[in-house]
Structure 1
Amino acid sequence: MKWITKLIGFLGLLSAMASAACPAWSSVQAQQEMVKLNEKLGKWDRSYYQQGVSEVSDATYDGLRRQYNEWQRCFHPSEKPQQPQIATLGKALHPIAHTGVKKLPDSEAVAQWAKGKTDLWVQPKVDGVAVTLIYQQGHLFKLLSRGDGEKGQDWTAKAKMIPAIPKTLSGQLANSVLQGEVFWKRDSHVQKAMGGINARGKVAGAMMSQSSPGLMSELGIFIWAWPDGPADMNMKLDMLAQAGFPLTKKWSMPVTSVDKIAMLRESWFTTPLPFVTDGIVVREAIEPAGKYWLPGKATWVIAWKYPPAQQIAEVKDIQFTVGRTGKIAVVLRLNPLQIDDKKIKRVNIGSIKRWQVLDIALGDQVMVSLAGQGIPRVDEVVWRVSQRNKPQPPTDKMVTPLSCLFFEIWCREQFIARLAWISSPEVMNINGVSLRSWQQIQQNLSLKNIFSWLTVTQEELQQISGISPARVAHLWQQFSQVRQQPFRQWLLAFGLPLPRAVFATLPDSQWSQLVARDEHSWQKLPGIGAARAKKLVEFVNHPQIAALVVFLAEQGIRGFAD
């Protein structure tokens, strides 16, 4: 899960949240929520650092850690942001500390860091388990887990089971300290398409296990630091490759501009690699002497991670939208978040039943990603607040396929959805009349039924603020032309529950012919069974449908007037 880097990046994470609104909680509730979340974060920290087990994804942990620190800023502003509880079981002292890398958010920050620096190199940020390899007198002496950067666990016995780790070295490397990543070897892994596949967890599990799992032969080693090694990067890479660490040379590229850095980052994100990655690392060739290395203090190396495929957002409101047929959808209004090039403020989670199964309340934290065509979706609820505040949804008795043919205050959404359906290309094809147009018209003219726009005058349209004279003329022309639409199109506009394919073969050309049909008569049409026939009889004889028929007859619409 790469949680070690959180030692370095919390202030940066906080700054991104600085403008977020604080929850409207009492001090008692705030304390209750913070204690509950802090206990969970502590449990995950101990599991990760002491057992090497990632109980949650990076996105979940990072998001909830940010949320906790934001609550701390809101309710205890004088306290320092809390950092992970990183007490480990490791007792072996690293001869040279692991510094970690500071994560920068974008190309501008990378450019600022790189300003004035020379001899820069880019490497993939391999997603595995960080380790120290200690060689003495030509032999592998120890392999230590990263731990807290100063002390780690002794994994030397496991190192002997990993074929990719050389057991003997010569020359300058015979007595050396190397830092790198034990990773799960992959065949053509495309990070953008495949994601992290829990690679780090697999490696950590294998290294922490008391047995000798078969995964050991599938592990590789990527050396990303040779403290006190040759100052010349090319010489360093050549010597590592000759000693049995070829990946470092193959995947270390010199760069002279931020554009080149960004190009490599995008290339490695979208093309097949032999390991899982979560970004890139940019480093200066010239490093301080190893004795000066301290956790969280590296200024000569930074990371630029890939954009997260998932992000956590707080639920600020829960709204219910009603479609033309009365179908109710639940929409979550979120604290704004950015995924790829999309800014997301709302996400539709589907039916009331799904909302109830997900058990989402105001203040909960949800994991959001992009589905096909960039549509935001909720993948899971990652944190539920203690107080379950939920709005009351509309009832099925209020909203039905036959409700809101006539306007009432409580059914505004379904009424507008019906108008939008009528003007759509597949029904009346009223060109240039959008959902927003109908909202403007309804707000200003208070249409009484779904066909009342037939009686709207040009003068009335001219009184609507925000509609230009040219647009008024266009709307008037469109509304007038619709009167000439054939009978079957008006049936579509009604929402007659007839399969679309049957409309083309429907012999009736007058509403009176439809009313005269009984269930048996309807079933003579192709694809109409008993249940559909009963629904059709109920529809054409419904009082509100009958009232609309009278209205269309008064307007002289073909098929409804005698």
Structure 2
Amino acid sequence: MGLWKSIVLALLFCHLRAGAACPAWSADRANEEMSRLQQQITQWDDSYWQQGVSVVDDGIYDQLNAQLRQWQRCFGGDSQTDLSAPPISGSILHPVPHTGVRKLADKQAVQQWMQTRSDLWVQPKVDGVAVTLVYRDGNLIKAISRGNGLKGEDWTQKVLQMPSIPRTVRGLLANSTLQGEIFLQQDGHIQQKKGGINARSKVAGMMMRQHTPELLRSLNIFIWAWPDGPAVMSERLEQLTAAGFSFAQRYTQAVKNADDVEHARVRWWTSALPFVTDGVVVRSGKEPQARYWVPGQGDWLAAWKYPPVAQVSEVTDIQFSVGKSGKIAVVAMLEPVMLDDKRVQRVNIGSVRRWNEWDIAPGDHILISLAGQGIPRIDEVVWRSTQRTKPKPPEGRFNSMTCFYATPGCYEQFIARLVWLGAKEVLELEGIGEAGWRELHQAYRFEHIFSWLGLTQEQIQSTLGVSKGEKIWHQFNLSRHLPFTRWVIAMGIPLTQVTLNASRDDSWQQLQDRDEQSWRQLPSMGGQRTRRVIQWLEDREITALSNWLAAQRIAGFMP
């Protein structure tokens, strides 16, 4: 699938998630969950805005913030407060308010937004912290943090220590107000590969801390607004560049439609840039006069964000499976999310011990990303539900010598053995997978892992359908003519293929005739493996299976 399609799918699915069903909670439970999460976000905000310390990744914060808002919409809580905004502690009035930027969900939304506007331009959405610069008589006299959009903190002394920001300007800029993003300079940052690297929090930390001139030198600014500046965008950009604000002109381009925006978005997502980005901003060159700018009312610009590298998802269930060797695997079922172009609704946790270490229960929220080969993995547990009920793993002791027979409690390992023996390297039973084995077992209650050899063509067709049943019947018959070693492997003999080939044994009797010394002479046969093979050969169930195969006239098992 093309890269642009991957992005569209991811953003579309994220948009669809926004309308996810509300949790089936009581009012008390809902209030408890919302109150606890809101308290946590408030603590993160205090650390971030008052101390300049980020204790949680930006992406996790944003997604949990969105989760809280969804719960508030579901249960009637106060969803108007912008928890991601700094506390209203700033006392310095912005000459021109920060409007903020509307976020669009997908390409279609971008196209619809663009239809009623003209003179459109696209820029990277630089990830940092917003600031106002005030120039009077050519001198930088004030730098104000975004704050609540109307008032902010005085950052003048910090900004004056940044060599990248001009202290003096000329011409129309001599008496101007500029808005932009202070960002952490990067050397060839590729957003698609490196993600957000917590850039926003790092910049905020530098601006909050005292006595950090060496850190401030690593910061720069992207000017994205010049209220009441030149009416023509190209002239605005030229004058900004001439004054020393070069990034805006270099990374602003005219666009006519959503295709143009999409191409720029993909290019900036996959190219080396001097800053971290989290999407693109489309803006009209025609802006209202500055006196009409109001927080939350900037309808002449909109953002189209990138798909996140990692997603927070709610665990809906914990499921267990037993493999053919008896190992219990734990899987977390998830509220579906999109990662790249993959729809992820389950993630492997690992063993029961690993699950206990993670301490994951339904209702918890986990951060997942894609590992090598696009396999979903758990990065961390980001939020635990207030009411947590963890299911119990399957009871009983499972190992490589259990569940050859369909006894009570053996269902999952028994099915796993059937699936494995049908693999290409074992009995090569093409056309039947786990679902097919479950159907046949449910219909005919297999006694052991080779009971399917006793099914008739009519029985298989009545369960799996005429066409598929005929093919499976054919595969079952072909398996009867496979070499003896294939059947021994299907029985789970604890030998490597190399050792089995080296033995040159082609009958059950030859295997039984070997003593310990004879086994030890074969390659890769230490004392422990030798004892396991002898134990396997002497096992009552294995002996019974060999007798069944002999009765079915499988080569190598008949006396």
Counterpart position of 1:43: 43
- Tell me the CA shift for residue 173 of structure 1: 0.4
Counterpart Cα distance in 1 of 2:14 and 2:337? 14
- Tell me the CA shift for residue 80 of structure 1: 4.5
- Tell me the CA shift for residue 340 of structure 1: 2.3
Counterpart position of 2:212: 212
Relative distance call for 1:125 and 1:17 in structure 2 (3 A) is closer
Deviation string 1:326-376 (CA, Å, 9 cap, x unpaired) is 111101111222222222221111111111000011211111212222221
Counterpart Cα distance in 2 of 1:242 and 1:494? 78
Counterpart Cα distance in 2 of 1:256 and 1:26? 50
Relative distance call for 1:207 and 1:136 in structure 2 (3 A) is same
Counterpart Cα distance in 2 of 1:62 and 1:173? 35
Counterpart Cα distance in 1 of 2:118 and 2:480? 73
Q: Using the TM superposition, name which of 353-362 and 498-507 deviates more.
A: 498-507
- Tell me the CA shift for residue 476 of structure 1: 1.5
Counterpart Cα distance in 2 of 1:242 and 1:213? 26
Query: Is 1:256 the equivalent of 2:251?
Result: no
Relative distance call for 1:160 and 1:83 in structure 2 (3 A) is closer
Counterpart position of 1:77: 76
Contact 1:69/1:82, CA 8 A, preserved across alignment: no
Query: Which stretches in structure 1 are left out of the alignment for 5+ residues?
Result: 1-11
Residue 139 of structure 2 aligns with an amino acid whose one-letter code is: H
Deviation string 1:492-515 (CA, Å, 9 cap, x unpaired) is 111111122212212222212222
Identity among equivalent positions (%) equals 47
Query: Which stretches in structure 2 are left out of the alignment for 5+ residues?
Result: 1-12
Within 5 Å, give how 1:294-313 maps onto structure 2: 294-313=294-313
Q: Secondary structure at the match of 1:504?
A: helix
Counterpart Cα distance in 2 of 1:493 and 1:374? 30
Within 5 Å, give how 1:146-225 maps onto structure 2: 146-225=146-225
Counterpart Cα distance in 1 of 2:32 and 2:511? 63
Contact 1:159/1:165, CA 8 A, preserved across alignment: yes
Within 5 Å, give how 1:75-474 maps onto structure 2: 76-77=75-76, 80-84=79-83, 86-395=86-395, 397-464=396-463, 467-474=464-471
Within 5 Å, give how 1:469-484 maps onto structure 2: 469-484=466-481
Contact 2:51/2:209, CA 8 A, preserved across alignment: no
TM-score, structure 2 as length reference? 0.94
Query: Is 1:539 the equivalent of 2:526?
Result: no
Contact 1:321/1:329, CA 8 A, preserved across alignment: yes
- Tell me the CA shift for residue 89 of structure 1: 3.3
Deviation string 1:448-495 (CA, Å, 9 cap, x unpaired) is 11111111111111221xx34232222122111111111111111111
Contact 1:72/1:81, CA 8 A, preserved across alignment: no
Counterpart position of 2:19: 18
Counterpart Cα distance in 2 of 1:470 and 1:209? 72
Counterpart position of 1:530: 527
Relative distance call for 1:422 and 1:520 in structure 2 (3 A) is same
Q: Secondary structure at the match of 2:546?
A: helix
Counterpart Cα distance in 1 of 2:250 and 2:186? 16
Deviation string 1:286-338 (CA, Å, 9 cap, x unpaired) is 00111111111100001111001111111111110111111111011112222
Residue 19 of structure 1 aligns with an amino acid whose one-letter code is: A
- Tell me the CA shift for residue 250 of structure 1: 0.7
Q: Secondary structure at the match of 1:162?
A: coil
Counterpart Cα distance in 2 of 1:200 and 1:62? 12
Relative distance call for 1:70 and 1:222 in structure 2 (3 A) is closer
Contact 1:13/1:66, CA 8 A, preserved across alignment: no
Contact 2:420/2:426, CA 8 A, preserved across alignment: yes
Contact 2:135/2:141, CA 8 A, preserved across alignment: yes
Counterpart position of 1:502: 499
Query: Is 1:488 the equivalent of 2:485?
Result: yes
Q: Using the TM superposition, name which of 190-199 and 214-223 deviates more.
A: 214-223
Q: Secondary structure at the match of 1:532?
A: helix
Counterpart Cα distance in 1 of 2:15 and 2:493? 55
Contact 1:227/1:290, CA 8 A, preserved across alignment: yes
Deviation string 1:377-404 (CA, Å, 9 cap, x unpaired) is 2211111123331111124x43221211
Counterpart position of 2:553: 556
Contact 1:324/1:414, CA 8 A, preserved across alignment: yes
Q: Matched residue pairs, number?
A: 546
Contact 1:49/1:88, CA 8 A, preserved across alignment: no
Residue 537 of structure 1 aligns with an amino acid whose one-letter code is: I
- Tell me the CA shift for residue 31 of structure 1: 2.8
Higher RCO structure (Cα 8 Å, ≥6 apart): 2
Contact 2:58/2:200, CA 8 A, preserved across alignment: no
Residue 19 of structure 2 aligns with an amino acid whose one-letter code is: A
Counterpart Cα distance in 2 of 1:326 and 1:248? 61
Counterpart position of 1:9: none
Counterpart Cα distance in 2 of 1:16 and 1:428? 43
Counterpart Cα distance in 2 of 1:69 and 1:266? 29
Counterpart Cα distance in 1 of 2:164 and 2:360? 47
Q: Secondary structure at the match of 1:407?
A: coil
Contact 2:181/2:224, CA 8 A, preserved across alignment: yes
Relative distance call for 1:82 and 1:538 in structure 2 (3 A) is farther
Residue 417 of structure 2 aligns with an amino acid whose one-letter code is: R
Counterpart Cα distance in 2 of 1:158 and 1:87? 20
Task: Kindly report the root-mean-square deviation, in angstroms, between the aligned alpha carbons of the 2 structures.
Answer: 1.8
Counterpart Cα distance in 1 of 2:50 and 2:302? 26
- Tell me the CA shift for residue 251 of structure 1: 0.5
Counterpart Cα distance in 2 of 1:200 and 1:335? 28
Residue 20 of structure 2 aligns with an amino acid whose one-letter code is: S
Deviation string 1:37-75 (CA, Å, 9 cap, x unpaired) is 12111112222333333321232222222322333344x
TM-score, structure 1 as length reference? 0.93
Counterpart Cα distance in 1 of 2:63 and 2:225? 30
